[in-house]
Structure 1
Amino acid sequence: MSSQPFTVVITGAASGIGAAISQQLMAVPGKNLILLDRQADTLAELAATAPPGVVVETLAIDLTNTEQLTSGLSPLLADNSIHELVISHGIADENQLDQCEIWDKVLLTNLTSVQRLLAVLEPRLADGASVVIVSSILGLIGKKANSAYCASKHGLLGLVKATALDLASRRIRVNAVLPSWVDTPMLRREVRRQADLTGIAEADMLRRIKKRIPLRSMVEANDVAHAIQFLLSAQSRMITAQSLVIDGGDGCGL
């Protein structure tokens, strides 16, 4: 039996889906977590909630900076392998087609930095490891004023499929989750912005969102985290290169 600790790396861990999966995995005995995000204070607060005996390391980092990633992670990993990797960081800036600066920023953060992260960490992944990448329902469909975000999330699905094939010989599985209308701080900011633009009350805007979802409820971050846990686990040992939609039936039709 290996004497190495069971190591989990989670990006975007400070809030939303990243925080939810971090909290869920903290409750699993025997896992050592390395949490990455730009928000140092929030990461520290999250790590402080870990149960006794659970090892949680944090790294405040700009994941678009490959050199910072390599130099920051190396001392935390030491000689240990990574058994589970959850990539959940991203931004959702809207853009028009001619707003190239926003396009570059979104693609760098949501897609290119994920490829760079995988390139850096691939040699450290244990044989039989599991990787889950958080994409979006907008990885399958389009949305007005979101060409950069949609392109980045579509691109992640191609990256998942190709990387899954690249790593299959080592029994490393790579999958994606595609949530829709997740009740996170990011979504709440977007709802407030849309409410201000349209003159509709924020509460009414939220009711409209829920009404269009067949299960009549917004997806919670914990719903997505539970799906991630399944894809990380041995229960999904024959699932790879797949995209799991979590949308309460929103995408099934009218």
Structure 2
Amino acid sequence: MEGFVALDGKHVLVTGGGTGIGAAIAQSLAHAGASVTIASRNLDRLQKFASTSDNISAISLDVTDAGHVTEVFAGLGDVDILINNAGAALTAPFHKMSEEIWSQMLGVNLTGTFLCTQAALAPMKVKNWGRIINIASTAAHKGYAYTSAYCAAKHGVVGMTKALALELAGTGITANCVCPGFTDTQIVADAIENITTKTRRSEEEALGELVKGNPQKRLIEPEEVANAALWLCRDESRSITGQSINVAGGEVM
């Protein structure tokens, strides 16, 4: 059918794939014919989602544990398309931020992306084909108050992706980032709850605070992010590498 991206025979790994953006990407790529493995530390939630599609399976994976990443990838088989989506966003004023929060944010958002990418690369190089798609954030291009560790990690993801794209330019492997603005996910729901608790604002006022930077004045839908990832998987997108695709209603240009 027109606009359909055939990914038959491709194996996709989506980290953080059980909910939100990761689930939308997994569903979209499975619909396009790929065999999709979703991974996170919460295996029960993953298996519940995986049961909705014959093309999706679930595994447990802690992206911050180098030994576990190596072990899981060794038993996973070749990964043709890697979606580094696992992430978390803890907030704190900079002067009150603990080293624990700092390390946790860099660990799950940046080091986890590094570890999984490194583990997936060798089979891609043998096949001379692969797609590495890192789900970053508009926080990779601008600052948000009280999220310095998260912003630092996501800026790092973009920098790493650009460098990797240059190293892979002579191969059939591309490396890109997709950078969503505030998206209708559990992370944003938690942020709204945090705002209402601390400021006594209504949910509507808290939502307005989050989307005020988006010229469209709305949350991004997970399916919109998935559509960008699907486009990057196309053979026709092989010249798109080292890029950051902003899905943010014009918030970042």
Note whether the superposition's TM-score is higher than 0.5.
yes
Please tell me whether the aligned partners of residues 57 and 76 of structure 1 are also in contact (alpha carbons under 8 angstroms): no
1:83-162 paired onto structure 2 within 5 Å: 83-95=80-92, 96-97=94-95, 98-125=97-124, 126-162=127-163
Q: 1:204 Cα shift?
A: 2.6
Give deviations 1:107-166, integer Å, cap 9, x for gaps: 111111211111222112231211110111011111222111010000001100011111
Find the aligned partners of 1:211 and 1:5 in 2 and give their Cα distance: 42
| One-letter amino acid matched to 1:108 | G
Please tell me whether the aligned partners of residues 81 and 131 of structure 2 are also in contact (alpha carbons under 8 angstroms): yes
Give deviations 1:35-71, integer Å, cap 9, x for gaps: 11111111101111114xx3x3311121111111221
Q: 1:212 Cα shift?
A: 4.6
Find the aligned partners of 2:17 and 2:138 in 1 and give their Cα distance: 20
Question: Are 2:22 and 1:23 aligned?
Answer: no
Question: Are 2:51 and 1:64 aligned?
Answer: no
Evaluate the alpha carbon distance shift between residue 188 and residue 234 of structure 1 in structure 2; reply closer, same or farther with a 3 A threshold. same
| Residue equivalent to 1:198 | 199
| Residue equivalent to 1:36 | 39
SS in structure 1 of the partner of residue 246 of structure 2: strand
> Normalised by the size of structure 1, how large is the TM-score?
0.90
Please tell me whether the aligned partners of residues 131 and 174 of structure 1 are also in contact (alpha carbons under 8 angstroms): yes
SS in structure 1 of the partner of residue 134 of structure 2: strand
Q: Structure 2: state its 5+ residue gaps.
A: 1-7
Evaluate the alpha carbon distance shift between residue 124 and residue 191 of structure 1 in structure 2; reply closer, same or farther with a 3 A threshold. same
Matched residue count: 242
* CA RMSD after TM alignment: 1.7
Give deviations 1:191-249, integer Å, cap 9, x for gaps: 11011111111123224444553223210111111011111112312110000111112
Question: Are 2:90 and 1:48 aligned?
Answer: no
> Normalised by the size of structure 2, how large is the TM-score?
0.90
Find the aligned partners of 1:204 and 1:214 in 2 and give their Cα distance: 17
Question: Are 2:40 and 1:11 aligned?
Answer: no
Find the aligned partners of 2:159 and 2:176 in 1 and give their Cα distance: 11
Please tell me whether the aligned partners of residues 179 and 244 of structure 2 are also in contact (alpha carbons under 8 angstroms): yes
Q: Structure 1: state its 5+ residue gaps.
A: none
SS in structure 1 of the partner of residue 184 of structure 2: coil
Find the aligned partners of 2:22 and 2:108 in 1 and give their Cα distance: 15
